[in-house]
């Protein structure tokens, strides 16, 4: 009886599922007994794959009475959510890498699992191979974390890094990233910030121990970033990154968002390049901690999934209530702070007619809206007698900044506000 292996069921045998299959083969206490796939005829990059355990009916996995742990690795809401709930009803613990499901239905899922006394672990759902959730819930449990800044999407980080290094346009680098397999044919989920928004929703919920709702997370992608912005940022001592951030104040108000940001070159996150991810946490008493590593890929993500599987497997039979520290313990919601209520510094790129007094006019509009300027620089005059003007503000309320931008755009000497990007504080 002591040598009996714990049976695992996989739903999905794509990139991550294949990595999980290969990695689990090295452990004696567990075995994969059934795998559900969408296409039985798809070739798999797995040596000695036992095809007899593969099915195209995922309910064969979640209804199998011998399986103790189900790993859901297909992503999305439908049919993943119903499959997970069915597995839980049938007495199985769950491991998932499904960031969208957690962000949209996390509260319902965890309550459902608790009702049936089952565990849902999801280390792979936020930062791929970076150990994050378990450290926050265990080693860092004695900390009051109040700030998170993170690079959580490898595709956008790759694109922004290449734009910075090559001086190339967003469109050109996106095409290259798609050809190399770093970006999907439809990159919307990555480049418009949806992927990072799902991840920071769950990460902020764990870090603050208060539930954060996805609909309260401000989201802005990288599609409007220009090579000129990259160049200007470098001159000013910054790099442009897509940052997922979360702050909670002493009143329990949470400011959670995803958007491009000018990050100081003195910051660790400024030097996280290409497909690498990183998460910086601030709290008391630890101060500041940054964890970085591969945020996606076959084996990095499999590392987190397998770690969760083994964490559950090693606890089975030891208690009637396993892994209490890893369970959801949120009984209150964070008070959302809307983007209009936030205070930020801003980088603004303005194209204006080369007339006397234009810089003064911009300064006056800002002053009338309570905005102090840290710097304002004219970057030469073009052949069409227009000039690009770069502005960096001091701290200002978002709604005041937006009002000023509208007034600047309406001025007769202004051609266009090219960019408005928030600056790391």
Catalytic residues: 199
Neighbours of 186 (CB within 10 A): 9
Q: Where are the alpha helices (DSSP H) in 138-187?
A: 154-166, 170-180
- What are the beta bridge partners of residue 376? 391
Q: Does residue 121 sit in helix, strand or coil? A: strand
Dihedral pair phi/psi, residue 350, rounded to 5° = -125, 135
Pairing verdict, β 386-393 and 343-353: antiparallel
Dihedral pair phi/psi, residue 396, rounded to 5° = -150, 150
**Cis before 285? omega within 30:** yes
Question: Using CB atoms within 10 A of its CB, is residue 201 exposed (0-12), middle (13-18) or buried (19+)?
Answer: buried
Distance CA 87, CA 104 (A): 19
Q: Where are the alpha helices (DSSP H) in 71-153?
A: 80-89, 99-115, 124-127, 133-137
Q: Does residue 135 sit in helix, strand or coil? A: helix
Check if the beta carbon of residue 393 is closer than 8 Å to that of residue 366: yes
Distance CA 238, CA 231 (A): 9
* Residues, the chain: 425
């Amino acid at each position: 009886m002591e040598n009996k292996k714990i049976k695992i069921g996989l739903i999905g045998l794509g990139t991550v599922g294949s990595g999980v299959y290969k990695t689990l083969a090295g452990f004696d206490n567990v075995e994969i007994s059934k795998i559900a796939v969408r296409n039985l005829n798809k070739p798999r990059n797995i040596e000695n794959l036992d095809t007899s355990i593969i099915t195209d009916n995922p309910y064969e996995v979640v209804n199998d009475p011998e399986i103790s742990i189900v790993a859901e690795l297909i992503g999305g809401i439908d049919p993943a959510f119903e499959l997970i709930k069915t597995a839980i009803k049938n007495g199985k613990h769950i491991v998932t890498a499904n960031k969208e499901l957690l962000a949209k239905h996390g509260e319902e899922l965890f309550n459902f699992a608790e009702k049936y006394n089952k565990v849902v672990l999801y280390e792979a759902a936020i930062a791929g191979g970076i150990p994050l959730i378990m450290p926050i819930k265990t080693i860092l449990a004695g900390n009051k974390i109040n700030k998170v800044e993170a690079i959580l999407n490898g595709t956008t980080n790759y694109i922004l890094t290449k734009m910075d290094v090559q001086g190339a346009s967003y469109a050109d680098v996106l095409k290259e990233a798609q050809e190399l397999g770093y970006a999907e044919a439809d990159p919307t989920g990555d480049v418009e910030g949806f992927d990072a928004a799902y991840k920071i929703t769950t990460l902020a919920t764990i870090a603050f121990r208060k539930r954060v709702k996805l609909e309260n997370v401000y989201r802005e992608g990288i599609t409007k970033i220009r090579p000129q912005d990259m160049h200007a940022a470098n001159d000013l001592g910054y790099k442009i990154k897509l940052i997922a951030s979360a702050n909670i104040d002493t009143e329990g108000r949470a400011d959670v968002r995803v958007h491009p940001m000018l990050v100081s070159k003195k910051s660790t996150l400024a030097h996280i390049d290409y497909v690498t991810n990183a998460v910086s946490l601030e709290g008391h008493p630890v101060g500041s901690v940054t964890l970085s590593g591969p945020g996606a890929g076959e084996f990095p993500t499999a590392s987190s999934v397998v770690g969760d599987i083994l964490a559950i497997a090693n606890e089975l039979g030891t208690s009637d209530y396993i892994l209490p520290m890893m369970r959801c313990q949120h009984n209150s919601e964070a008070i959302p702070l809307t983007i209009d209520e936030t205070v930020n510094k801003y980088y603004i790129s303005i194209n204006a007619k080369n007339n006397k007094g234009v810089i003064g006019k911009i300064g006056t509009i800002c002053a009338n809206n309570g905005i102090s300027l840290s710097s304002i620089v004219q970057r030469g005059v073009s052949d069409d007698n227009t000039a690009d003007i770069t502005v960096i503000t001091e701290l200002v309320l978002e709604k005041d900044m937006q009002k000023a931008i509208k007034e600047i755009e309406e001025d007769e000497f202004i051609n266009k506000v090219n960019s408005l990007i928030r600056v790391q504080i």
